[in-house]
Chains A and B, each alone.
Chain A
Amino acid sequence: NAGVTQTPKFQVLKTGQSMTLQCAQDMNHEYMSWYRQDPGMGLRLIHYSVGAGITDQGEVPNGYNVSRSTTEDFPLRLLSAAPSQTSVYFCASNNRAPIGAGELFFGEGSRLTVL
Chain B
Amino acid sequence: GIQVEQSPPDLILQEGANSTLRCNFSDSVNNLQWFHQNPWGQLINLFYIPSGTKQNGRLSATTVATERYSLLYISSSQTTDSGVYFCAVMNTGFQKLVFGTGTRLLVSP
Asked if A106 lies at the interface with its beta carbon under 8 angstroms from chain B, I say yes
Task: State how many angstroms separate the Cβ of B69 from the closest Cβ of chain A.
Answer: 18
B95 lies within 8 A of A48 (CB)? yes
How many residues of chain A have a CB within 8 Å of chain B? 27
Q: Complex formed: what's the CA distance from A41 to B30 in Å?
A: 23
Given the interface pairs A88-B41, A101-B90, A104-B45, the reply to whether A56 lies near B95 with Cβ below 8 Å is yes
Q: Please give, as numbers and ranges, the residues of chain B lying within 8 Å of A104 by CB-CB distance.
A: 33, 35, 45, 88, 97
Task: State how many angstroms separate the Cβ of B83 from the closest Cβ of chain A.
Answer: 13
Annotate A27-50 by CB proximity to B: 1 below 8 A, 0 otherwise: 000010101000011111100101
The interface centre, meaning the residue of B86, B97, B100, B102 with most chain A CB atoms within 10 A of its CB, is B97
Task: State how many angstroms separate the Cβ of B33 from the closest Cβ of chain A.
Answer: 6
Asked if A105 lies at the interface with its beta carbon under 8 angstroms from chain B, I say yes
Q: Please give, as numbers and ranges, the residues of chain B lying within 8 Å of A58 by CB-CB distance.
A: 96
Q: Complex formed: what's the CA distance from A44 to B99 in Å?
A: 7
User: Among A45, A105, A108, A109, which residue has its beta carbon within 8 angstroms of that of B97?
Assistant: A45
B43 lies within 8 A of A103 (CB)? no
Q: Complex formed: what's the CA distance from A48 to B98 in Å?
A: 12
Q: Complex formed: what's the CA distance from A110 to B52 in Å?
A: 34
